[in-house]
Structure formats: structure tokens, C-alpha cells
Amino acid sequence: QQQVKQSPQSLIVQKGGISIINCAYENTAFDYFPWYQQFPGKGPALLIAIRPDVSEKKEGRFTISFNKSAKQFSLHIMDSQPGDSATYFCAPTRDTGRRALTFGSGTRLQVQP
């Protein structure tokens, strides 16, 4: 897991605010960059993912920004809602071979009403 560093460890945002979570990776062979969302007692679920041929991808309130040269990518949650309160993991991987996900240590997001 030292290959992937995620920050911040925890985040408190007011309802309607913007949540930003960052992920830095070391392995230049990674070519698929997903974010997973995990609620207590549940397994992680794919939220949004990006490939290195684009610098940004938006799906509803969720946006991934990707900086290949800096080996970083981030998750932006616009208009954060209490239902977004969960733990978020970046989990880059190689899109060939075993495709095992390399998870960051997670960011616990709390959206206050």
C-alpha cells in the first residue's frame, strides 16, 4: 500500500460544499484509476474511474482530475450531501494481467447537514 498515498485521512464538509480527496501513486505502470466508495458493513463499490488518456472525467456530482506527470489524481464531490458520508479509496491498477486493485488507506468523509 506504500505505492499509493491518499489524503486527507478524514474530511468534514458542510452540506452543499465541495469535498476534495487526493491520491498520489508511484507505479508508472498503472493505467486505470478508480475511486471506490465504502459504507460501514459493506464492500467497496466503484464510484468513478478514469484512464490516462484524459485529464478529467465528470459523472453527475463526481469528478476525477488526473495529472499524469505528477502521478496524482483527485476526486471532487460537488454539492456534498449527508448520504455521501462514507470512506473513499483510490485504487489504481494496471488494466492488463491480474488487474488487482492497489488501494490507498482511505478517506473518511463526513458531510454535516
CA 15 to chain centre: 19
Q: Compute the distance between CA of residue 109 and CA of residue 84 in angstroms, rounded to an integer.
A: 8
Smallest separation (angstroms) from another protein to the CB of 40: 11
Q: Is 92 in the site for another protein (CB under 8 A)?
A: no
* Count of residues of this chain found to bind another protein when the rule CB under 8 A is applied: 24
Draw the binding track, 44-83, toward another protein (x: CB under 8 A; -: no contact). Answer: xxx--x----------------------------------
41 binds another protein (CB under 8 A): yes
CA distance 30 to 92: 6
From 13-21, 56-64, 72-80, 99-107, span contacting another protein (CB under 8 A): 99-107
Residue 34 or 111 with smaller CB distance to another protein: 34
Cα separation, 56 vs 75, whole angstroms: 10
CA dihedral 112, 85, 75, 31 (to 10 degrees): 170
Cα-flanking dihedrals φ and ψ of residue 62, to 5°? -105, 130
The residue from 2, 28, 43, 60 that contacts another protein (CB under 8 A) is 43
